[in-house]
Chains A and B, each alone.
Chain A
Amino acid sequence: MSGVNVRVPTILRTYTSGESEVTASGATLREVLTDLETNYPGISARILDDSGKIRRFVNVYVGDEDVRFASGVETATPAGSRVSVVPAVAGG
């Protein structure tokens, strides 16, 4: 299975040894996060709450689409797609 590129925000880079981008595999966002957890233990619990939902102050994008407008953690992650994890931003 081809890899998915995951962009890691600054506050999660302690899990990725400072790397801002890592690769993972999976056909859905949930599978990608599971694979990330295997290689970077602890990172998944920062993104998902205890019930497995995306934490309310985390935005996750597949390509340019906020997964909340797609299928949440079940959003498809085609080979070569880019996943971005971004803290919520206020003000404007």
Chain B
Amino acid sequence: MAITATESHTTVTRPFGPASALSCRECGERYEIGPRFACEQCFGPLEVAYDFSGVSIDAIKSGPPSIWRYASLLPVPADVASRPNMAPGFTPLVRADRLAAELGLRSLHVKDDSANPTHSFKDRVVAMAVEAARAFGFHTLSCSSTGNLAGAVGAAAARAGLRSCVFIPAGLEEGKVVMAAVYGGRVVAIDGSYDDVNRFCSELIGDPAGEDWGFVNVNLRPFYAEGSKTLAYEIVEQLGWRLPEQIIIPIASGSQLTKIDKGFRELIELGLVEDTPYTVFGAQATGCSPVAKAWEAGHDVVQPVKPDTIAKSLAIGNPADGPYVLDVARRSGGCVSHVSDEEIVDSISLLARTEGIFAETAGGVTTGVLRRLLAEGKLDPNKETVVLNTGDGLKTLNAATAGVSATIAPSLEAFRDAGLAH
């Protein structure tokens, strides 16, 4: 903690704001705040613990229209908004009446995170990691990524004046590769799956070659993951400080789902929102559905799989937070479901056609699971429902099936002859 004397008073700068420690989700062991991510006793994931103070709805409402309005609930300094950053968040909560009518739902909203600066929810989590990297003095920002995270890291590092080097599995969608590379950092393709990339990055941080590198989803993971809580805060605020009754969240590693749940519970514990029941549903692609398979089998552990799906941003075969996803779904009365690649493509079209939202494949997964859960009677059509779209369809154009309606000569006769007038 740095203490700075000023003319009239002493200002205490806390680089991690209200964060007080890192705590193991498995055994509860606590650690001083540092660039660590796994418990030394049991390998369980560490997460940020807080000593909240000065949190109020009025203070939040007076904040900037970005995730930084919730700085008092995050592991960041109070002056975070004044530093060079991407200012992500406060994305639209779209009232999806036409999609609701088509599916037979009473009330539906789409939380559209394609509106973030690099067009995916990853800008939220990376913003947290940048602040941690600054506090720890890392000179290079890095990650293992299926694409969206790589773009978010490249952009945020450029804005913050950090070097970046991101690692992706070879063969990603071209749009994601370009978006990762355009910001000037290094993009390294690994000849293997995302899980292979993860293993490589985990080994790199333990090697002198990776010294002083901040991997946003490895050694900065506890801080990074907290960014997903802002989705919970925003949905509650945009609903008028109410919890949604049902929410559908995509599962890659499972971290986003568990942190949204953490965000809801924090607001309840702080008395900022009424403690009303909410049900959490997890969504996966059938070609990479280890958590859904564990759910269907009634297991508490998740058996890894080798992914084979067009939903590459969700293609994590060994989801670290999978067991916690099962816990949240079970506790809230939800479930974990999955949809085929064909249903994903069809659902991308459905969302675009009814609401003007062009989702990437992960958005096709959540919309597809919404439709499937309704058909199976597992989701209540009379309850207010929120479905997440975590990224922009422009990044996964190959999954879209749309094209020109007709090719005609530039004449009115040709237009009429083609039957396009009505």
Residues of chain A touching chain B, judged by Cβ–Cβ distance below 8 Å, are 7-11, 14, 20, 46, 55-59, 61, 64, 66, 68-69, 84, 86-92
Q: B320 near A86 (CB under 8 angstroms)?
A: no
B175 within 8 A of A: no
A92 cross-chain contacts in B, Cβ below 8 A: 143-146, 149, 194, 198, 217, 252-253, 313, 316
Q: B217 near A56 (CB under 8 angstroms)?
A: no
Q: B206 near A20 (CB under 8 angstroms)?
A: yes
B201 within 8 A of A: yes
B195 within 8 A of A: yes
Closest to A12 in B: B40
CA distance A91 to B218 in the complex (A): 8
B301 within 8 A of A: yes
Interface of B is mostly: loop
A88 cross-chain contacts in B, Cβ below 8 A: 38, 43, 45, 318, 320
Identify which of A46, A55, A64, A87 gathers the most chain B CB atoms within 10 Å of its CB.
A87
Closest to B38 in A: A87
Q: A10 near B206 (CB under 8 angstroms)?
A: yes
B234 within 8 A of A: no
CA distance A30 to B163 in the complex (A): 42
> When A92-B194, A92-B253 are in contact, do A86 and B217 touch as well, CB less than 8 Å?
no
Q: B43 near A7 (CB under 8 angstroms)?
A: no
B224 within 8 A of A: yes
B92 within 8 A of A: no
CA distance A69 to B317 in the complex (A): 11
Closest to A47 in B: B43
A57 cross-chain contacts in B, Cβ below 8 A: 26, 38, 42-45, 320
Q: B304 near A66 (CB under 8 angstroms)?
A: yes
Closest to B36 in A: A11
Q: A7 near B203 (CB under 8 angstroms)?
A: yes
B111 cross-chain contacts in A, Cβ below 8 A: none
Nearest chain A CB to B192 CB, angstrom units: 7
> When A69-B304, A91-B253, A92-B217 are in contact, do A11 and B40 touch as well, CB less than 8 Å?
yes
Could you list 13 examples of A-B contacts with CB < 8 Å?
A7-B203, A11-B38, A46-B40, A56-B323, A57-B45, A57-B320, A58-B43, A59-B318, A86-B203, A89-B201, A91-B255, A92-B143, A92-B198
Q: B202 near A91 (CB under 8 angstroms)?
A: no
Contact with A along B397-415 (1 / 0, CB 8 A): 0000000000000000000
Q: B225 near A87 (CB under 8 angstroms)?
A: no
B392 cross-chain contacts in A, Cβ below 8 A: none
> When A61-B199, A84-B199, A84-B203 are in contact, do A91 and B38 touch as well, CB less than 8 Å?
no
Nearest chain A CB to B233 CB, angstrom units: 19
> When A9-B206, A57-B42, A59-B199 are in contact, do A89 and B304 touch as well, CB less than 8 Å?
no
CA distance A67 to B303 in the complex (A): 12
Q: A64 near B202 (CB under 8 angstroms)?
A: no
Q: A64 near B144 (CB under 8 angstroms)?
A: no
Q: A56 near B301 (CB under 8 angstroms)?
A: yes
> When A87-B38, A87-B43, A91-B253 are in contact, do A20 and B207 touch as well, CB less than 8 Å?
yes
CA distance A46 to B254 in the complex (A): 24
Q: B216 near A91 (CB under 8 angstroms)?
A: yes
B293 cross-chain contacts in A, Cβ below 8 A: none
B261 cross-chain contacts in A, Cβ below 8 A: none
Select which of B40, B198, B301, B323 is within 8 A of A89 by beta carbon.
B198
Select which of A14, A56, A86, A90 is within 8 A of B253 by beta carbon.
A90
A11 cross-chain contacts in B, Cβ below 8 A: 36, 38-40, 43
B254 cross-chain contacts in A, Cβ below 8 A: 90
Closest to B24 in A: A57
B253 cross-chain contacts in A, Cβ below 8 A: 89-92
Which residues in window 34-73 of B have CB below 8 A to A? 36-45
Closest to A7 in B: B203
Contact with A along B130-171 (1 / 0, CB 8 A): 000000000000011110010000000000000000000000
Closest to A53 in B: B301
B394 cross-chain contacts in A, Cβ below 8 A: none
